[in-house]
Amino acid sequence: MREQFEQLKMHLWMVLHHRWTALGAVVLVCALGWAGLEAVDDRYQVEAKVYLDTKAALQPLFQGPNGAQTWSPQQSALLIKRTLLTRENIERVINETALKMKVKTPEGLDKMVMSLAERIRVKRLMPAVDEEANSRNDTPADIYSISFESTDRELALNVVKSVLDLFVERFSYLTKTSTKEAAEFLDREIAAYARNLGEAEERLKQFKLDNPGVLLGANGQTYSQRVEALQSELEAAKVSLREAEFRATALRVQIQNMAASRVPVSVGGGVPGQTALDQQIATAESRLSELLLNYTEQHPDVIGLRRQLAEMKEQKAKGLDVPAGGAPVVYAPATDTSGARLLLTEAEARAAAMKEQIALKEKQLLDLKPLAETVPKVEAELARLNRDYEVIKATYAELVHRRETISLSAGAQSAGGDSMFKVIEAPRLPLVPVGPQRELLTTAVFLAALALGTGLGWMRSQSRPTFYTRNQLATISGVPVLGAITMNWSVMEVARRQFGMLIFGMVVLALLAAYVGMLMHNGYDIKPLIKTIVEPFRMIQA
């Protein structure tokens, strides 16, 4: 701590050593800064306030596809400014004001337009402080401020007036006719689209009529789907036909067999020579024919059955046969063949039906074949017609929706009367300048000068560092210091020194006085300050 204090003291002493440099710098900077501040003209600001229903003003112009609001509350001021301050409009402002005198060349005009576009400010004001607004997330109110700053207050007034004129002109135009125009436009569009929609519908209908069954099956199948379906149906019908035919064949054989076996029974003696072997042979033969329906001659069952049959025939030929029922063997109850006959009739009927169906399907397939070329074209045409129709329908719906929105806002307009746009505060000639901040800048210059002077003094002491304390000398040189001898001022020197101090003090006082003077000159009221300083002393006295 002591070390730091010593250091601080030393640095302070170093600066004091160059006090004249420091003071000179301070005086110079103060003089220049304050003179510069004097040279700067006062700036005046003129402001006008208007009420404008943002939504009504902007919605017809900048509406999104779904009728959504596409600008944020913060952007609305910018949008309005852009709409308002077009180049022609700014040129009009220039021509209406004294700025016209300043413009001499086209380049000058360009520059002037650019600078005005920057300097004319359109701002959306925050609502007055109230709880409700705060709770509503601080959405700006529909109040816009138009302001302009200039050293020439007449000019500022005229510029704002001119811009306000533009505002009134522009937005009264917008509020009165733009919705109407938009509505008329939309009406025309809607009518056109309604016509288009009708035509599209008609075209689609006609096309469907022109291309009947060919185009679409009952289930809306396409051509290839239909061909495929027909083919598979044809196949199925063929299979069914074969089934029915085989069934009929089998039934016929059965009926025959039944009839054969019945003869001896029904007659009583039976057919002579009909033995058990004969029966077996008959059964085997019928089985064989059955097998042959499904299998080729090479099938093992077929081969086996044939061999069996051959053996049985051989046995019969050898006379090994035994009469079919030495006693009651063949005496089977008579079998009624009427059921089998009924089945046979059914099978035959089915086969006939299938034949007919096959013929039909084949004819249908034959009919479809020549269309193979034209159908895809027709289908593509249909898809296009459908698409067109859908698009037209969607657009039409959208237009109708917009038209409704506009009707609504127009309704609001007529209901609210002139509340959509209103000049709240007309521009006035300002009496008090808004800038520069003279009091603040005076102090800033003073502080900067102090800092600069101190810095300069310190820098000078650092640029040619010398020794201030014995300790410093010992530390830096690394050589023992025997002692320090204080300056032995002669009377003359002391007098000169004191004189110097006196002058220094006087200059410092003068500087402070100048600072206070400048503050007061720049409108600072010093009385309250003096009062606050003096008051405690009075209290003590009292």
Residues within the interface to other proteins (CB under 8 A): 6, 13, 17, 464-471, 473-474, 476-488, 490
Between residues 207 and 504, which has the closer beta carbon with respect to other proteins? 504
Q: How far apart are CA 55 and CA 416, in angstroms?
A: 14
442 touches 515 (CB < 8 A):
yes
Between residues 489 and 499, which has the closer beta carbon with respect to other proteins? 489
Residue 406, Cβ density class (10 Å: 0-12 exposed, 13-18 middle, ≥19 buried): buried
Q: How far is the CB of 457 from other proteins (least distance, A)?
A: 13
Q: How far is the CB of 31 from other proteins (least distance, A)?
A: 29
Q: How far is the CB of 21 from other proteins (least distance, A)?
A: 14
342 touches 197 (CB < 8 A):
no
Taking Cα atoms as reference points, which of 49, 69, 83 lies closest to residue 139? 69
Q: How far is the CB of 14 from other proteins (least distance, A)?
A: 8
Q: How far is the CB of 477 from other proteins (least distance, A)?
A: 6
Which residues neighbour 370 within 8 Å (Cβ) at sequence distance 6 or greater? none
Q: How far is the CB of 3 from other proteins (least distance, A)?
A: 12
515 touches 30 (CB < 8 A):
yes
Which residues neighbour 523 within 8 Å (Cβ) at sequence distance 6 or greater? 438, 439
Q: How far is the CB of 468 from other proteins (least distance, A)?
A: 6
Count the neighbouring beta carbons within 10 Å of the beta carbon of residue 509.
Answer: 10
Between residues 295 and 499, which has the closer beta carbon with respect to other proteins? 499
Q: How far is the CB of 508 from other proteins (least distance, A)?
A: 20
Taking Cα atoms as reference points, which of 170, 347, 350, 333 lies closest to residue 265? 333
Between residues 279 and 471, which has the closer beta carbon with respect to other proteins? 471
Which residues neighbour 386 within 8 Å (Cβ) at sequence distance 6 or greater? 204
Count the neighbouring beta carbons within 10 Å of the beta carbon of residue 189.
Answer: 17
Between residues 6 and 285, which has the closer beta carbon with respect to other proteins? 6
Amino acid letter, 282 = A
Between residues 320 and 495, which has the closer beta carbon with respect to other proteins? 495
Q: How far is the CB of 454 from other proteins (least distance, A)?
A: 18
Between residues 98 and 474, which has the closer beta carbon with respect to other proteins? 474
* Residue 480 token pair: 């023992």
Amino acid letter, 95 = N
Between residues 5 and 537, which has the closer beta carbon with respect to other proteins? 5
147 touches 160 (CB < 8 A):
yes
Residues 249, 255, 258, 262, CA torsion sign: negative
Give the length of the chain.
542
Which residues neighbour 410 within 8 Å (Cβ) at sequence distance 6 or greater? 179, 180, 183
Between residues 17 and 422, which has the closer beta carbon with respect to other proteins? 17
